[in-house]
Amino acid sequence: MIRDTFKDKKRIVFKVGSSTITHEETGALNLIKLERFVRILTDLHNQGKDIIVVSSGAVAVGRKALGLEKRPETTEQKQACAAVGQSRLMTVYQKLFQEYNQKTAQVLMTKYTIVDDQCRHNARRTFEELLKYGTIPIVNENDTVATDEIEFGDNDTLSAIVAAVSGADLLVLLSDIDGLYTDDPNQNPDAKFVPYVESISDEFVEMAKGPSSDVGTGGMSSKIFAGGIANDGGTDMAIINGDDVNNILSLLEGEEIGTVFKAHKTKHFHLKNYLEKRENKND
């Protein structure tokens, strides 16, 4: 069983969404949940695993700080929120990780980092060097300079790209839903849970829905797209409910939790092809 291998994974990328680390009522950071998340990751690192975090939340934190009631609609608003929120979010991460004597590093990326061969190679070497020194990199898109033409679009996609660039053998997406369903379970009570995906077909793409959260940017469709990148790049992927961060431990212990997407590295895998595919789909 593929789940039995998860306890032996050596390099894991965790993507945590805004809805997982903020309070739904206020949009402010959920410090209790964030502290538990940090503690679990530090303990996994203490077991000898390489850990990378792709964290959403900068725009949500900035939006709260600036007093905006609604999600920013313009690029300028989004970038202003990101500029304010990114430093605040990273400060919280650093303080929490420091409580457990764990080093962290901030890594901000744009799509140009991946499209340009030299930049992509430099990014790979940077991750390797940071991990060699026992650091947990915390990654986000550089929203303050990204535009519609050069942005990844969501952190699900970014996390899959980070997994491919860093050579991770597992990608874990912490979501506000238990995993993949045949339909939106919030709308359709007959929707059936899908615990395992051997390969991503058009059928699974049709199942996916858009974002349902007021703070998130990626729905199930972005997670399916991320699964395609991760799996083709040789990385297993799992979607689990981040409402209880202890689900991370359950997943790594091989329990039947979340939806697992099996890796099947393709012969001519190249990240630029996937970004171009997404651009063509959005046109």
The full set of domain ranges for the chain reads 2-282
pTM score, two decimals? 0.90
Q: How far apart are CA 45 and CA 17, in angstroms?
A: 21
Q: How far apart are CA 125 and CA 140, in angstroms?
A: 17
Which H or E element spans position 275? helix 271-282
pLDDT of residue 209: 53
> Which fold would CATH assign to domain 2-282?
Carbamate kinase (3.40.1160)
Q: Is 123 exposed, middle or buried (0-12, 13-18, 19+ CB in 10 A)?
A: buried
Of 131, 243, 196, which Cα lies nearest the Cα of 139?
131
Q: How far apart are CA 3 and CA 168, in angstroms?
A: 16
pLDDT of residue 191: 87
- Per residue of the chain (283 residues), give pLDDT as tens: 899 999 999 999 999 988 889 988 888 899 999 999 999 999 999 999 999 999 988 888 888 889 888 888 888 888 888 889 999 999 999 999 999 999 999 999 888 788 788 988 999 999 999 999 999 999 988 766 655 544 566 889 899 999 999 999 999 999 988 999 888 787 888 889 999 999 887 777 776 654 554 444 447 888 898 999 999 999 999 999 999 999 999 999 999 999 999 998 887 787 777 766 655 555 4
Q: How many Å is the Cα radius of gyration of the chain?
A: 17
For residue 196, what are the β-bridge partners? 260
Q: Using N-to-C axis directions, what is the helix angle for 155-166 and 220-232, rounded to 10°?
A: 10
Which H or E element spans position 89? helix 75-99
pLDDT of residue 186: 79
pLDDT of residue 278: 57
Q: Is 194 exposed, middle or buried (0-12, 13-18, 19+ CB in 10 A)?
A: middle
pLDDT of residue 1: 82
CB 72 within 8 A of CB 63: yes
For residue 173, what are the β-bridge partners? 15, 239
pLDDT of residue 47: 97
Q: Which pair of tokens denotes residue 148? A: 């519609």
